[in-house]
Structure 1
Amino acid sequence: MKKIKVILSGGGTGGHIYPAIAIANELKSRYPNAEFLFVGAKDRMEMDKVPEAGYKIEGLWISGLQRSLTIKNLSFPFKVIGSLIKARGIIKRFKPDVAIGTGGYASGPLLQVAASSNIPSVIQEQNSFPGITNKLLASKVDKICVAYDGLERFFPSEKIVKTGNPVRQDLLTIDTKREQALEHFSLSKEKKTLLVLGGSLGARRINQLIEKELDFIQTHNVQVIWQCGKLYFEKYKLYDHTKNVQVHAFIKDMDLAYAAADIIISRAGAISVSELSIVGKPVIFIPSPNVAEDHQTKNAMAYVKENAAMLIKESDLDVDFENKFTQLIMSPERCEELGENIKTMALVDATKHIVDEVEKLLK
């Protein structure tokens, strides 16, 4: 069997890291003797998560440009130049057959060097509104795998393939795990379950909302699985096992959490949105406004326009939350409608389709 070398870059958040790992795993299943190398940003979470998944990683001294005026921006040009030099050395030493970028600070320098070295290169763009790095790389790479329609506004149309975003395959069977999930989380069958997700680090505004609205939520006889994130766990753990609430810094068995949920509150990061499409439960999206180009709102709106989810902006939470939550909890028909509609938007074989495109470049 042909031995290939694959270099991947994606990091900063789980939304960039886990798709890269999923793509590597699929390639490994097709090419068992393939050699893989990840490139990430030093001191970011990929430096831990990638080795945990069994892959080697090297770090670049790179970070994002701060949107506000700050002294940190003075070092940005030096970081870019240094990262390009190191990426060139990595490419020259590793000699990859293909380069894959899933977003994050390090993917820019790596893909730039790979493409300029005539190495077949692929971008996996997760959002409905791409960031500046992928816009700049678009003219240089060979293929751009996307999850949304309409990205011809940003990328050359002949390079675009709609594949969807890689997601965990254990989500495909959550319909069979309801009883197991209720037992796992020690939940009552007689109550509805609200699952609150703010990402692995947590979402400050969502946590503030849940703390404020716990008594209101209890009036609807609802139990809560609340992932507050590791940055906020010390602050909110006092609510754990009070008022039918469970507080978690991080939920490892996400398939069971999804299976137990009747209603979900979530950020609208690209991977979260893709997972929730497969889960097929009613969702209230609360997009983070603190992201480039407000892309989470754009992600969520793509679903709201199809009557597949509800959206509340952070600035409207105090006014709209109780009303919209009541609409859902009091209307099984509305919950079913949203669940069915969001499921029609799922692209369940995204990872396989992305790797199919990679294989075309390897031939």
Structure 2
Amino acid sequence: MSKKLKVLMSGGGTGGHIFPAVAIAQEIQKRFPDAEFLFMGANGKMEMEKVPQAGFKIEGLNIAGFDRGNLLANVNLPFKVISSLLKARKIIKEFQPDFAVGTGGFASGPALFIAARMGIPTFIQEQNSLPGKTNIFNAKKAKTVFTSYPNMEKFFHGTKTLFLGNPIRKNIITDIIDSDLAKEKLGLEKGKLTILSVGGSLGSRTLNNGWKENINQVLEKNYQLIWQTGKLDYKNILEETKDIHSRNIQIVEFIKNMEMAYSAADVIVSRAGAIAISELAIAKKPVLLVPFPFAAEDHQTKNAQTLVDKNAAKMVKDTEMKEKFWNTLSEICENEGLRKEMAQNLDFFAKPKATEEIVDEIFKNLNIKE
């Protein structure tokens, strides 16, 4: 390209929206090192910190979602929407992007709406099997919607929809190693069935309580457990389990080398966030999903159900943990044939080239030559 490429990115509220936006921007930057990027986020949300950490400029809008729990908090919502639309218009007019990409969250509503109104080509990347309202609304004017699950045309009537997967961390794709070697590196025994439990960076109290109730079963079965507790429960769990002196149980607050933990695992227990599921599909390890029930529109349960329907995962709901957690986990751990079948079926959802293919499609649509 003769003139410098300018790209508007918008997405936030959660890591599940922010990370795909950053990954897409990084892929474009790899191809056009002098490209200029501007992110639009919501003031007070995590994107205002995470996007600059990734090296990109961000502008904040004073936008929030509809609060169903506290209706009085919505009194100012119309004013916030109007002020966000006006600010988005001013920012876009000054920046003059060649195209805009939205990944969901409050801020991408006004950002993509105004961009489309100003004749700027817009693209949407949807992470979940049940799309967010912002993406459904903006899809009407979008060139293409990139989805992470198949058969999602029904949500985006009349808009070109491509099942390309979620952009995920590069090292998950490149650094998965032999299971026994990973166990050795983590100080675990080779050949012994290993369970990895991950509940996100803050951890999951539901999963933590599940393990506390069943820790003796893990020891009796002689399974190995890598138990990521998250920040909030870590100290209490260490205190409560201080009498358990077993190298089979590794309790950690946070896992930095996720690719190593995935490699070592024979079975994974996880929440059902979109990005987590995309990483699990790449790792190709049988998984028990425990969806977070308070995610927007219960999308984690919908994500998990999509995998369950293809026999690529098992699911236990929060409310079923006491009755079903250990029995369902045992069914996976004690049946090698089932584990192999689940791992193979996960391959359908594995999209290691998602980021590259999304950018390829954007460039092809706009006839941008590299």
Same fold (TM over 0.5): yes
Distance, in Å, in 2 between the alignment partners of 1:25 and 1:288 is 29
Counting only pairs closer than 5 Å after superposition, residues 306-317 of structure 1 correspond to structure 2 as: 306-317=310-321
1:249 corresponding residue in structure 2: 253
Matched residue type, 1:259: S
Distance, in Å, in 2 between the alignment partners of 1:310 and 1:156 is 31
1:72 corresponding residue in structure 2: 73
Distance change in 2, residues 1:235/1:44 (3 Å): farther
Distance, in Å, in 2 between the alignment partners of 1:203 and 1:64 is 24
* TM-score, normalization by structure 1: 0.93
Distance, in Å, in 2 between the alignment partners of 1:150 and 1:245 is 41
Counting only pairs closer than 5 Å after superposition, residues 52-67 of structure 1 correspond to structure 2 as: 52-67=53-68
Distance change in 2, residues 1:344/1:150 (3 Å): closer
Give 1:114 shift.
0.9
Distance, in Å, in 1 between the alignment partners of 2:191 and 2:165 is 36
Task: Confirm whether residue 84 of structure 1 aligns to residue 85 of structure 2.
Answer: yes
Distance, in Å, in 1 between the alignment partners of 2:253 and 2:58 is 26
Distance change in 2, residues 1:48/1:231 (3 Å): farther
* More divergent stretch after superposition (349-358 vs 213-222): 213-222
Task: Confirm whether residue 322 of structure 1 aligns to residue 323 of structure 2.
Answer: no
Distance, in Å, in 1 between the alignment partners of 2:216 and 2:145 is 47
2:40 corresponding residue in structure 1: 39
CA contact under 8 A between 1:42 and 1:59: conserved in structure 2? Answer: yes
2:10 corresponding residue in structure 1: 9
CA contact under 8 A between 1:23 and 1:351: conserved in structure 2? Answer: yes
Distance, in Å, in 1 between the alignment partners of 2:289 and 2:35 is 39
CA contact under 8 A between 1:226 and 1:246: conserved in structure 2? Answer: yes
CA contact under 8 A between 1:180 and 1:256: conserved in structure 2? Answer: no
1:347 corresponding residue in structure 2: 351
Counting only pairs closer than 5 Å after superposition, residues 270-285 of structure 1 correspond to structure 2 as: 270-285=274-289
Distance, in Å, in 2 between the alignment partners of 1:108 and 1:147 is 20
1:357 corresponding residue in structure 2: 361
Deviations 1:254-276 (A, max 9, x none): 11111111110111111111111
CA contact under 8 A between 2:139 and 2:159: conserved in structure 1? Answer: no
SS of 1:219's equivalent in the other structure is: helix
Counting only pairs closer than 5 Å after superposition, residues 147-296 of structure 1 correspond to structure 2 as: 147-178=148-179, 181-238=182-239, 239=241, 243=246, 244-296=248-300
Matched residue type, 1:138: A
Give 1:125 shift.
0.8
CA RMSD of aligned residues (A): 2.0
Deviations 1:222-272 (A, max 9, x none): 222222223443443434885433333332211111111111011111111
* More divergent stretch after superposition (291-300 vs 25-34): 291-300
CA contact under 8 A between 2:177 and 2:260: conserved in structure 1? Answer: no
Matched residue type, 2:352: V
CA contact under 8 A between 1:265 and 1:283: conserved in structure 2? Answer: yes
Distance, in Å, in 1 between the alignment partners of 2:106 and 2:251 is 31
Distance change in 2, residues 1:266/1:114 (3 Å): same
Matched residue type, 1:78: F
SS of 1:11's equivalent in the other structure is: coil
Distance, in Å, in 1 between the alignment partners of 2:21 and 2:345 is 28
Distance, in Å, in 1 between the alignment partners of 2:47 and 2:185 is 29
CA contact under 8 A between 1:146 and 1:164: conserved in structure 2? Answer: yes
Distance change in 2, residues 1:87/1:292 (3 Å): same
Structure 1 gaps, min length 5: none
* TM-score, normalization by structure 2: 0.91
CA contact under 8 A between 1:97 and 1:362: conserved in structure 2? Answer: no
Distance, in Å, in 2 between the alignment partners of 1:345 and 1:326 is 24
Distance, in Å, in 2 between the alignment partners of 1:163 and 1:125 is 10
Matched residue type, 2:253: A
Distance, in Å, in 1 between the alignment partners of 2:181 and 2:47 is 31
Matched residue type, 2:284: G
Give 1:190 shift.
4.8
CA contact under 8 A between 1:301 and 1:311: conserved in structure 2? Answer: yes
Deviations 1:317-338 (A, max 9, x none): 1111111111122122221111
Matched residue type, 1:336: K
* More divergent stretch after superposition (340-349 vs 166-175): 166-175
Distance, in Å, in 2 between the alignment partners of 1:173 and 1:333 is 27
Matched residue type, 2:339: C
Structure 2 gaps, min length 5: none
CA contact under 8 A between 2:312 and 2:346: conserved in structure 1? Answer: yes
